[in-house]
Amino acid sequence: MGCKVNSYELDLIRQSFAKEGYREVPFEEKADIYVVNTCTVTNIADRKSRQMLHRARKENPAAIVCAIGCFVDNLGSADIDPAIDLAIDNRAKKDCVKHIEAYLRDRTETTGQRVIRGEKDVFSERPPLLTPGRTRADIKIQDGCNQFCSYCIIPYARGRIVSRDEEDTMREIVTLAESGIKEVVLVGIHVSSYGKDRGEEPQEALLRLLTRIQMIRGIERIRLSSIEPRIMTEEFVSGIAKLTKLCPHFHLSLQSGCDKTLKEMNRRYTTAEYRESVERLRRHFREPAITTDIIVGFPGETTEDFATTVSFVKEIGFYQIHVFPYSKREGTVAAKRKDQVPDAEKKARSKELLLLTAEQARAYREKFIGQEEEILLEETTEQDGKTFWVGHTMRYVEGIVREDKSLPQAAGMLIKGRFTGASGGRLLLQSDDPS
The footprint of ligand SF4 (CB under 6 A) covers 145, 147-149, 152, 154-155, 189-190
CB of 156 to ligand SF4, least distance (A): 9
Nearer to ligand SF4, 143 or 172 (CB): 143
221 three-class SS: strand
CB of 189 to ligand SF4, least distance (A): 6
**Sheet containing strand 162-163, strands side by side:** 162-163, 136-143, 183-188, 221-224
362-367, Cβ contacts within 8 angstroms, sequence gap of 24 or more: 362/422, 362/425, 363/317, 364/287, 364/289, 364/317, 364/318, 364/319, 364/397, 365/319, 365/397, 365/422, 365/425, 365/427, 366/422, 367/287
CB of 269 to ligand SF4, least distance (A): 11
CB of 320 to ligand SF4, least distance (A): 18
The helices-and-strands tally (H runs, E runs) of the chain is 12, 16
Amino acid letter, 114: R
Nearer to ligand SF4, 135 or 309 (CB): 309
Contact by Cβ (8 Å): 178, 137: no
Contact by Cβ (8 Å): 292, 237: no
Nearer to ligand SF4, 41 or 205 (CB): 41
Nearer to ligand SF4, 16 or 226 (CB): 226
Reference 59, options 97, 93, 31; nearest CA is 31
Nearer to ligand SF4, 114 or 337 (CB): 337
Nearer to ligand SF4, 145 or 209 (CB): 145
49, exposed or middle or buried, with CB in 10 Å at 0-12, 13-18, 19+?
Answer: buried
List the Cα angle 46/125/88 in 5-degree steps.
40
Rounded distance between C-alpha atoms, residue 336 and residue 299, angstroms: 10
Contact by Cβ (8 Å): 160, 197: yes
Reference 137, options 185, 177, 174; nearest CA is 185
Nearer to ligand SF4, 72 or 149 (CB): 149
CB of 294 to ligand SF4, least distance (A): 12
By DSSP bridging, strand 289-296 and strand 414-423 are unpaired
Nearer to ligand SF4, 135 or 271 (CB): 271
CB of 313 to ligand SF4, least distance (A): 19
CB of 352 to ligand SF4, least distance (A): 23
DSSP secondary-structure letter at 192?
G
CB of 330 to ligand SF4, least distance (A): 15
